[in-house]
Amino acid sequence: MFGANQLNAAKAVLAACRNAGLKLATAESCTGGLISGCLTAVAGSSDVVDRGFVTYTNEAKSDMLGVPSGLIDTHGAVSEAVARAMAEGALMHSAARISVAVTGIAGPGGGTAEKPVGLVHIACARDGAETLHECHVFDGGRDAVRAQTVSAALEVVLAMVVRTPTG
């Protein structure tokens, strides 16, 4: 289901969170739970993974994570502002101290000139730290975009854990 590189990245994230004493939450739109799935494919992940939110619709983003509907109306669901709000909302609605959120256009349809297929916003929030954000335009079909999103999201979490002191 997941490639060796993804599973190794998941193991690295879990080890880093474990060493830092952090619980992790995910907030996923375009990946539909694949990040949580990759993390929980690793035995022993239950001591790190608190919960995963699959917020595929705008309503779910608002209801489950507290993303203001006005923010979605203004910036669109696939935006830096919404990704950041999703990550921050996952922290507020969980026992986690670090979270990762993804929102994007996996395709094959749904893209525009301004927001093409493959566009993904990733945000990572951590208690006491500034929320990180990355924007990518991934190549390939739907499965490839989603797989690349999982890998990139895990890298962002690892970067946040490594760069932010435990406190």
CATH numbers and ranges of domains, the chain: 4-163 (3.90.950.20)
- What is the pLDDT tens value at each position of the chain, 167 positions in all? 899 999 999 999 999 999 999 999 999 999 999 999 999 999 999 999 999 999 999 999 999 999 999 999 999 999 999 999 999 999 999 999 999 999 999 999 999 999 999 999 999 999 999 999 999 999 999 999 999 999 999 999 999 999 876 65
**Structure token pair of residue 65:** 């994570």
Inter-residue contact 61 to 49 (CB < 8 Å): no
Does pTM top 0.95 for this prediction?
yes
